[in-house]
Amino acid sequence: FRATQKTLEKEIAQVVSAVNDITSKPVGTKDDNMDEVELEAYLLKAPYESLNRSFRATQKTLEKEIAQVVSAVNDITSKPVGTKDEANNGLDKLVGKLQGLKRKMEDARREEEEQVRKLQSRLVHIKRGQDPSVMRQWTSDRVSRILVDYMLREGMYDAAAALASTLDIKDLVDLDIFLSARKVIAGLMNRDAAPAIQWCVDNRSRLSKVKNSLEFLLRKQEYVELVRSERLDRAITYARKYFPGFADTHMRDIQEAMALAAFAKMQPSYERYQIALSPDRWSVLAGTFQDTLYALYSLPSQSILSITLQSGLSALKTNQCVDPATHVSSCPVCEPHMGALARRLPVALHSHSSLVCRITGALMDEDNPPMVMPNGYVYSKNAMLDMAGRNGGRVTCPQTKTVYRYDELKKAFIS
């Protein structure tokens, strides 16, 4: 076991190094590495994190089981031999422990092989993206994968699993990570912290390394619920049992929580107490859990769909997109839903401007020149001719509703 442990730790260290080299170094030439690899870094890191988590959990389990087997062997070999039946019972128990250890090792091996296979599939997938002959299919798989990722983040687990299975991309999406978190999120939304606390206990060593405070927030929320229901004796007992372990890092929060028990019946107006007693805290905890989950498995904090859309919108956004009065119907950034994604994006730098007609959405150029109305608004010649043809040679400004004759318009020249 010790030899196997050292070998696996060495192999995993090599995998870590390889993954970090691929995902952290600057992108090389198009032949050496695709630009998309930087955006798809989580594709390689997520299964590695799962593999590492599985290995560490298996390591702890096996150490515990092996210690029990060694203890049982020592008991058999060191104690005086009793009757034949006692000896047989001792041997049967030892055989049972060994069989249980074998089953756990086989289960761990299958789980680790699954993660290795998934990592290999993703490496092959990224490599296929460099082959022009399969680029269309690769792009289609990528779009499908991005949609499944978005659906999982939005809680549409069954639909996402069905889509991934239908399109045969299960190895390229992190269904296992999100489905394992499904019960935790559902519990938090139903004001039950037990599944989330158990998740924190299972991942305590990793959470402590990054100094994550999720477990304390969950313990504090359970304490707050006891205070809210006026079960103060139980609340104090709960605090004495669980809060001391967080005293070094959350003493101020613990002090405020204890003060909350003293003032709960008075409905304190202090803002921090109102926040602590707010029913919305459960939704906040669900969001905190999701952020922690993403960080633990090296997943992006936003969906890849949002990141991809924002990348495109950032190249299109102009100052006119910010003001609703100057929105253009054909502009993606001016569309309300897309505009929400682009709200915090900077305005793109365009060295060459393009004029777009607000009526037709068509580009204004030498074949469709801009026409200036007497009130200063500009529209395309084709739009004005079409409007004049339908209204006896008169055109109406969509902004001011002012009516002019077509011959009052002047052609603008762009230098």
Cβ-in-10-Å burial (0-12, 13-18, 19+) of 192 comes to middle
**Predicted pLDDT of residue 23:** 54
**Cα gap 223→233, rounded to integer Å:** 11
The 10s digit of each residue's pLDDT in 151-193 is 999 999 999 999 999 999 999 999 989 998 999 999 999 999 9
pLDDT, average across residues 358-384: 90
**Contact in structure between 356 and 330 (CB atoms under 8 Å):** yes
CB burial class (10 A; 0-12, 13-18, 19+) of residue 295?
A: middle
Residue 181 half-sphere exposure, CB side, CA atoms within 13 Å?
A: 25
> 315-366, pLDDT tens digit by residue?
888 887 877 777 777 788 888 888 888 888 888 877 777 788 888 888 888 8
In whole numbers, what is the pLDDT of the chain averaged over residues? 83
169 or 37, which is more confident? 169
CB atoms within 10 A of CB 274: 11
289 or 311: which carries more pLDDT confidence?
Answer: 289
| Confidence check: pLDDT of 24 > 60 | no
Confidence band for 32, pLDDT divided at 50, 70 and 90: very low
pLDDT-derived band at 31, boundaries 50, 70, 90: very low
Q: Cα(95)–Cα(41) distance, rounded to whole angstroms? A: 46
Q: What is the DSSP string of 253-287?
A: HHHHHHHHHHHGGG----HHHHHHH-TTHHHHHHH
Determine the pLDDT at residue 14: 66
Under DSSP, is residue 11 helix (H, G, I), strand (E, B) or coil? helix
With 90 as the cut, is the pLDDT of residue 260 above it?
no
The more confident residue out of 171 and 29 is 171
